[in-house]
Amino acid sequence: MAGLLPRLFGDMTDWFEVDFPRALPAIRFEDKLSDEEYVLRAEVPGVEPDKDLRITTLDGVLTITAERREEEKGLKRSEFRYGALHRSVRLPANADEAGITATYRKGILEVTVPLTAPQPAGRKIEIAAG
């Protein structure tokens, strides 16, 4: 009897590995920052970039939005997944938002953000004795 339970529950673990909504961000990405640019690579397979992808910036935040529609048809069953995915990331303070470019290839969206010269951190204001 003790050997039956692990086998029974072991067989059921596949049921819990389906695409249920998760608390984690829907779009996985990696990013890299250098002195000249900030590069973000996002995993968005199964979308048509000209119809299903949108990249926007507002107040120093870059947002990627994707609409995914997938269908699989077999002999006796079909399965579909659809929905909107999005992810936002704060850009570096010296990001040149007007110069942002993006490419999509084999399910990977690459966004390149050029950086301007670093802005001074501020200046010290002298206080005059009165």
Per-residue model confidence (pLDDT) at position 26: 74
**Which amino acid, 34?**
S
- The reported pLDDT for the residue numbered 24 is 45
Q: What is the mean pLDDT of the chain?
A: 81
C-alpha triplet 69, 49, 36: angle, nearest 5°: 135
* pLDDT above 90 coverage of the chain, percent: 45
Average the pLDDT over 93-101 and give the result.
94
Amino acid occupying residue 68: R
- Average pLDDT (87-104) is 94
* pLDDT, tens digit, 9 for 90 and up, residues 27-69: 899 999 999 999 999 998 888 899 999 999 999 999 999 987 7
pLDDT at 91 over 50: yes
pLDDT category at 3 given cuts 50, 70, 90 is: low
pLDDT at 11 over 60: no
Tokens of 10: 């072991």
| pLDDT score of 15 | 47
Residue with tokens 């002999």: 75
Task: Say yes or no to pLDDT of 9 above 70.
Answer: no
Instruction: Note the CATH number of domain 26-114.
Output: 2.60.40.790
Q: Are 96 and 116 in contact (CB under 8 A)?
A: yes
- The distance from CA 19 to its chain's CA centroid, rounded to whole angstroms, is 17
The b-or-e profile of 89-113 (16+ CB within 10 A means b, else e) is bebeeebeeeebeeebeeeebebeb
